[in-house]
Amino acid sequence: MPRKILRVNMTNLEAKFEDLPQDFAALGGRGMTSTIVSKEVPPTCHPLRIHNKLVIAPGIVTGTRAPTSGRLSLGGKSPLTGGIKEANAGTSFAQMLGRMRIGAVIIEGKHEGDDYFTLKVTNDNAEFQDANKWVGKGLYDTYKALYKEHGDKVGICGVGISAEVLGAMSGVCFNDPEGLPSRYAGRGGLGAVMASKGLKFIIVDETGAPGVEIANKEIFSQGIKKLSNALGEHPVTQPKGGLNSYGTSVLVNIINEAGGLPQRNFSSGQDERAEQISGEVKAEEIKKRGGVRPHFCSPGCVIQCSEVWTKPGGKDPVGVLEYESVWALGANCGIYDLDVIGELNRACNDLGCDTIEAGDTIAVAMEGGLAKFGDGKGALKLMDEIRKKTPTGRFLSQGTEITGKVLGVTRIPTVKGQGLPAYDPRAIKGIGVTYATTPMGADHTAGYAITTEIMGVGGKVDPRDPKKAEISRNLQIATAAVDASGYCLFVAFAVLDIPEGLVGIVESLNGVLGANLTVDDVGVIGKQILDIELDFNKRAGFTATDDRLPEFFMEEKLPPFDGVFDVTDDDLDSVF
């Protein structure tokens, strides 16, 4: 049985399965979402009106026993950037879609009126249910109730209060293995797109699912063995390696030492207090409290960089505190207390907010006078404004750029309207090139130059050398291909240094697809995806002037090393 598309029309509340077009047969993840968005969404449409669509697609190997897969992509026109968007998450929900042979869910149309709906998807049926009782409710209690109602084996995808007010910082939330609402396709405001359609939740029940069809099981098994060996050998990804022992927050001390950990709304790159919120300190605290560390975001992950953070005594689990979240809600707001950061992260999860955008927004709001840097209670009050849907909460929910403009702040760290992640481009310039030039808006995962600039993976370069166009371009191309595969981006740490691992990835894809791809085809696939996205943005009105960082990065020296972002416009334009 081939894969299928589930097309969901919210205008007439109709959901039907369609055959996957033959020319989509080799697509998955980001390749699938960006292709469908490019073909079906008018680039100049309003992202929150009827013509936009939200596409959800598991990767090619998602749902198989491939190690550290389990990823899916969401795509649409972003309310935050105004361009094409792909947001990515690792979750059992993705694996269920893969095993149900659903290649894509396309949510289109727009329900007229104030009602919200849940879509319940089984192996051979999809039906709508009333979701109005969940409006205005936090996602922690709501997910508990949904599991009680539908059984503890289902997967849940949903949006929160921030999406109900059509906030551009709202993400799409998936369950973690404990059922907590902590796995997010967070970036770009795609939660608002889902809510604008009148869709509140998607529940998937994979009972009777046929599983992912594997065309050549021998090649597939050969490939995943090679990849597993590479992941087990590399110091970043191996058991008891950096990610497994300390999670993504292992980077806090590393980036702070490099002078590139933004503090207090990108006004400094280093602070000795940052050690208090490091991965090492957090791991020790989790151990004391009876949380979980290491942990996987989806079954089958061998890296296991996730965790479950709790209050003292193991109470009130939050879920994972990722590096980006700890930085955004911590150092960037002048907050160096993991308990406060944990509660801010809980608020983001409960409200359905992207933690990066929320942290950037709070920091700009602090600079604009709504709270003081370091004021954890003040930051939590700002999140409560969103919960109460007050006028202040509504503009905060629109993200960093809107908040900065409302408050008259001039240091607004955004590209294409999206808040910057946890690496200051004045200290680490390759990641700045990625921020500027990716079609996604400021997004570290689009071309993670930190691998070579800071971690020495795949080579080693000076992070302060401005000649980074080629590194960023190559990483953006490779990343697009990985995002299509269903593998976690963190497999790149191993395969960049261990070529046999990359061979394994390609063989696993060949095994599923019955294809004859080579390692050289990885770049071709990634380039094709990027070309589709760049073309969409061009048709939406984007020009080279959108591929720039805010001017303060070129003019304000970053303590302690006093660098500026000095990559030339010609170099930025040369990336694509």
The string of DSSP letters for 407-447 reads HT-S---EETTEE--SS-TTTSHHHHHHHHHSTTSS-GGGS
Residues 153 and 63 grouped into a single domain: yes
Do 57 and 173 belong to one domain? Answer: yes
pLDDT digits (tens, 9 = 90+) for 28-49: 999 999 999 999 999 999 999 9
User: Is the pTM value of this prediction over 0.85?
Assistant: yes
324 within a domain of the structure (yes/no):
yes
**Same domain for 382 and 507?**
no
Range of the domain at 410: 262-424
Per DSSP bridges, beta strands 117-122 and 199-204 are parallel
State the Cα–Cα distance between residues 406 and 389, nearest whole angstrom. Answer: 17
Question: For position 275, which CATH number holds?
Answer: 1.10.569.10
For residues 459 and 526, membership in a common domain is answered with yes
- The pairing of strands 155-158 and 199-204 is antiparallel
Region 290-295 average pLDDT = 94
Closest to 392 measured CA to CA, from 411, 378, 405, 406:
406
Cα–Cα distance measured from residue 332 to residue 379, given in angstroms and rounded to the nearest whole number: 12
Same domain, 173 and 223: no
Q: What is the pLDDT of residue 220?
A: 98
pLDDT given at position 414: 98
Distance between CA atoms of residues 367 and 538, nearest Å: 34
Residue 256 lies in a domain: no
Residue closest to 79 by CA, chosen among 52, 58, 57: 52
Q: Please count the CA atoms within 13 angstroms of the CA of 469 that sit on its side-chain side.
A: 12
Distances, alpha carbon 452 to alpha carbons 251, 429, 496, 519, in Å: 14, 11, 10, 20
**Under DSSP, is residue 526 helix (H, G, I), strand (E, B) or coil?**
helix
Does residue 210 sit within a domain? no
- Tell me if 180 sits within 8 A of 319, measured CB to CB: yes
163 lies in a domain? yes
Domain end (from 407, 424, 441): 424
Same domain, 354 and 443: no
Q: Confirm whether 110 is domain-assigned.
A: yes
Q: What is the pLDDT of residue 500?
A: 97
pLDDT digit string (tens) for 330-378?
999 999 999 999 999 999 999 999 999 999 999 999 999 999 999 999 9
Mean pLDDT calculated for residue range 55-84: 98
Strands 306-311 and 155-158: unpaired
Euclidean distance between CA atoms 17 and 4, whole angstroms? 6
254 inside domain: no
User: Does 237 reside within a domain?
Assistant: yes
Domain boundary among the residues 204, 238, 270 is at 204
DSSP element (H, E) containing 338: helix 338-351
DSSP 8-state code for residue 124 = T
pLDDT tens digits along 116-143: 999 999 998 999 999 999 999 999 999 9
Q: Which helix (H) or strand (E) holds 325?
A: helix 323-329
Q: Is there a single domain that holds both residue 420 and residue 433?
A: no
What amino acid is encoded at 416 in this protein? K
SS (H, E, C) 193-224: HHHHCCEEEEEECCCCCCCCCCCCHHHHHHHH
* 479-537 residue pLDDT tens: 999 999 999 999 999 999 999 999 999 999 999 999 999 999 999 999 999 999 999 99
The CATH number of residue 521's host domain is: 1.10.599.10
Q: In terms of domains, do 287 and 405 share one?
A: yes
For the four alpha carbons of 344, 350, 353 and 354, in that order, the dihedral sign comes to positive
Region of 405 on the Ramachandran plot (φ > 0 left; ψ -120 to 50 alpha; else beta): alpha
Tokens of 241: 């390696």
Q: Please, which residues have CB within 8 angstroms of residue 327's CB and are 6 or more apart in sequence? A: 252, 261, 262, 359, 421, 422
Contacts of 456 by beta carbon, 8 Å cutoff, 6+ apart: none
Q: Are residues 420 and 302 in the same domain?
A: yes
DSSP 3-state of 317: strand
The pLDDT value recorded for residue 437 is: 98
Q: Which of 424, 457, 488 represents a domain boundary (last residue)?
A: 424
CATH number at residue 84: 3.60.9.10
pLDDT tens, residue by residue, 275-291: 999 999 999 999 999 99
**Is a pLDDT exceeding 90 seen at residue 1?**
no
Count of alpha carbons within 13 angstroms of residue 426, beta-carbon side: 24
Amino acid (1-letter code) at residue 278: S
pLDDT in tens, 225-264: 999 999 999 999 999 999 999 999 999 999 999 999 999 9
Read off the DSSP letter of residue 166. Answer: T
Instruction: Give the integer Cα–Cα distance in Å for 193 and 198.
Output: 9
Chain-centroid distance of CA 254 in Å reads: 22
In order, the DSSP letters of 383-406 are: HHHHHHT-HHHHHHTT-HHHHHHH
Residue environment code for 108-121, b if the CB has 16+ CB neighbours within 10 A, otherwise e: bbbbeeeebbbbbb
For 56, the enclosing helix (H) or strand (E) is strand 54-58
Considering only CA atoms, which of 155, 75, 88, 56 is closest in space to residue 490? 88
Residue 301 lies in a domain: yes
Domain count within the chain: 3
pLDDT grade for 391, boundaries at 50, 70 and 90: very high
Q: In three state form, how does the secondary structure of 258-309 look?
A: CCCCCECCCCECCCHHHHHHCHHHHHHHHHHHCCEEEECCCCCCCCCEEEEE
Sequence-distant (6+) residues with CB within 8 A of 472 are: 430, 431, 433, 434, 437, 447, 449, 575
| Mean confidence (pLDDT) of the chain | 97
Domain identity same for 346 and 397: yes
**Maximum CA pair distance of the chain?**
62
Residues 123 and 230 in one domain: no
Q: Is residue 415 located within the same domain as residue 434? A: no
Mean pLDDT, rounded, for 198-221: 98
